[in-house]
A and B are shown apart, each in its own frame.
Chain A
């Protein structure tokens, strides 16, 4: 079982819709969770972090964490074509010295 799992997509949503991206993780000791956005040929860019169960909102982005079910999700409201990218989920177990990344979900926002 992979430590951090994401559906590779592509996930296609129309402009203005809500995009929902999901991630599951295997280590119950995980403490910090991150979403990175990566445009083709570019490096990952941190867009959201979440540490506690529940929702965390930042502009059009909402991160959701459920530690009991070991999943974290990212909602993007009012999706724009500029949101088209690969979204990477990353997890910090708290006892390790590094983040573990999923393979990413490719999001396509269509006009």
Chain B
């Protein structure tokens, strides 16, 4: 594995459309995280999976957001009825075992809602 892979790299969508992002973590990593980062801010936690179980969701994750990690492998993040405020960089990260080893981030998906 060369790292965490995210697709697409860029997505431009019209307000009200649905979008889906994909993250492929490093294969031996059992923890997978989604973060959102807007300009001038640090990454903000959205949700976290350990294997296939979604163990925590941020209050930032409204009902329009849903994430899955079937079979504990890749993960998808879907945003329904996108709003301009959803424009951000969506980052996926993975790690193995204790969180104290830090994350490896993917290259991110930049979403622009017009």
Contact = CB atoms under 8 A, between A and B. Distances in A.
Interface in A1-31: 4, 8, 31
B108 A104 contact: no
Interface stretch (B14-22, B35-43, B62-70, B72-80): B35-43
Contact of A32 (B45, B100, B106): B100
Contact of B105 (A31, A45, A98, A103): A45
B104 A46 contact: yes
B99 A49 contact: no
B56 interface: yes
Nearest to B100: A32
B27 to A, nearest CB: 19
B48 to A, nearest CB: 5
A101 B44 CA distance: 7
22 contacts: A34-B102, A42-B107, A43-B91, A43-B105, A44-B43, A44-B91, A45-B105, A46-B102, A46-B103, A49-B101, A51-B100, A88-B43, A90-B102, A92-B99, A94-B100, A97-B48, A99-B99, A101-B42, A101-B43, A102-B42, A103-B42, A104-B41
A57 B90 CA distance: 31
Given A49-B102, A92-B100, A98 B42 contact: no
A46 B4 CA distance: 13
Given A43-B108, A49-B101, A92-B100, A98 B33 contact: yes
Given A32-B99, A45-B105, A51-B100, A98 B41 contact: no
Nearest to B6: A43
A4 B43 CA distance: 12
Contacts of B56: 97-98
A28 to B, nearest CB: 17
A88 B100 contact: no
A100 interface: yes
Contacts of A45: 105
